[in-house]
Homo-oligomer: A and B are copies of this chain.
């Protein structure tokens, strides 16, 4: 008997979270023998609880589905709704009644570790009540911090954006090379430094900017930082430094928190300052050189022009693989990536898709291995470069209208 399919997106958007949505919807629509209506839930599980869902098939007929593949942001909308730990909570029967109401047989949730927590709880509750609905997690995060997978869809495009933007910022910063300057670029990543590490890809030659790279995995020492900046300026007068927003003192205090009690605004509120701004002031004070700090902000996760072909392809494939696996009977699983090739500069990159228990993944964070961090915490190794380089490859042709990227949106 045919069962209906429902898919949702959760957490922060990425450049390819819609490519994963495309993968799920396209594959499910092509499994007419098994899959009935393919629903999208609007604003994730939170919207589903309010019966906010849409039929995805018309998008395929209108050609809109094709456009979703290159549209950043979450087409279906997102939520940050955490299901209760207690499986006896009344929300569970409420949800499963709704699943029954819409004849759902397959549930797909595209997201990071919080979303995997949702998949884990729903699949455990299903087991408890003997429901045969299959729950599958499709990985997504620019932070690349999910365990049990080589990397996550969204990271490659974000890494490509970071590397390319830092290369451009370095070109811009170098124009007054007769005068010393420091440019500090603050990159997303509270606990895992993967995206900041990707700034190393920006280098055009050995010793090129960014000369210094700081991740949250290693305790940040302000005095050592100042010494390194001073030394680096001797050989690189227009110095670019990349830092994770989450750099910290190693005992739980973010560097940005050192500044947060400093100023109050006109309304008496604390002025929260980023780590970049804090270090800008520190370098200005201690070295007296021209300093600028730049926060890459949400553009890191929503830039379509830097879509990596590899990332988009893998995002689509992970959605399709999820559908295939669920139809074959899998539940309580997340689609995971296994690199079948060696991590080496000239290795041909080969990726396999597999499944991992979603309960092993949720609520955990994978950080950058310490042996991929070098120079006393101010650089990353060639092993990291060899790991990350294949993930940013490939260009994607973005449809345009009026000279700008054309995006899909819910009407």
Contact = CB atoms under 8 A, between A and B. Distances in A.
Contacts of A71: 171
A167 B405 contact: yes
Contacts of A79: 176, 178
A262 B265 contact: yes
B263 A204 contact: no
B407 A204 contact: yes
Contacts of A167: 404-405, 407
Contacts of A235: none
Given A164-B305, A271-B263, A175 B285 contact: no
Given A43-B178, A72-B171, A269 B298 contact: no
A306 B303 CA distance: 11
A268 to B, nearest CB: 9
Nearest to A159: B403
B259 A262 contact: no
Given A168-B72, A264-B262, A281-B265, A77 B403 contact: no
B164 A404 contact: yes
Contacts of A392: 403-404
Q: Which of A177, A265, A294, A301 has the most CB of B within 10 A?
A: A265
Q: Which of A74, A168, A266, A292 has the most CB of B within 10 A?
A: A168
Contacts of A285: 267, 269
B176 A78 contact: yes
30 contacts: A9-B175, A12-B175, A13-B172, A13-B175, A43-B176, A73-B168, A73-B171, A73-B172, A78-B176, A80-B176, A164-B305, A168-B302, A168-B303, A169-B299, A171-B302, A172-B298, A201-B404, A258-B266, A259-B265, A262-B264, A262-B265, A262-B271, A263-B263, A266-B281, A271-B271, A271-B277, A292-B298, A389-B403, A392-B404, A395-B400
Interface of A: 9, 12-13, 43, 46-47, 71-74, 77-80, 160, 163-165, 167-169, 171-178, 201-202, 204, 258-259, 262-267, 269, 271, 273, 277-278, 281, 284-285, 292, 294-295, 297-299, 301-306, 308, 389, 392-395, 400, 402-405, 407, 409
